[in-house]
């Protein structure tokens, strides 16, 4: 059985030269984790403090084992 998971990858600038990536279920969750509204992101430099991207991950369930078959890539240059 093949499955797809649609979610949002959030990339956040930690302010010390490091970054963190999280996966959340909704666009609203992504905006909340960035502590921004969509309007603020549209008005500001898109990667001032972080960004989000809608992503799809693909899985295959075989003999009770769930295997990731297609992941995603997110860059701090988004």
Cα 56 to Cα 25, 34, 35, 42, distances in angstroms: 11, 20, 23, 23
Mean pLDDT score, 3-25: 90
Question: Has residue 76 been placed in a domain?
Answer: no
Q: pTM score, two decimals?
A: 0.78
Q: What domain range includes position 23?
A: 2-70
Percent of the chain with pLDDT over 90: 53
Tell me: the pLDDT tens digits for 32-69?
998 888 888 777 655 567 888 899 999 999 999 999 99
Q: Is the Cα torsion angle 32, 37, 40, 45 positive or negative in sign? A: positive
- Angle 73-31-47 from CA coordinates, rounded to 5°: 55
Domain count, the chain: 1
């Amino acid at each position: 059985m093949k499955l797809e998971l649609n979610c949002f990858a959030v990339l956040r600038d930690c302010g010390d030269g490091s970054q963190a990536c999280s996966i959340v279920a909704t666009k609203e969750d992504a905006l909340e984790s960035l502590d921004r509204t969509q309007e603020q992101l549209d008005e500001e430099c898109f990667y001032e403090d972080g960004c989000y991207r809608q992503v799809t991950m693909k899985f295959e369930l075989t003999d009770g084992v769930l295997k990731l078959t297609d992941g995603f890539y997110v860059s701090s240059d988004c």
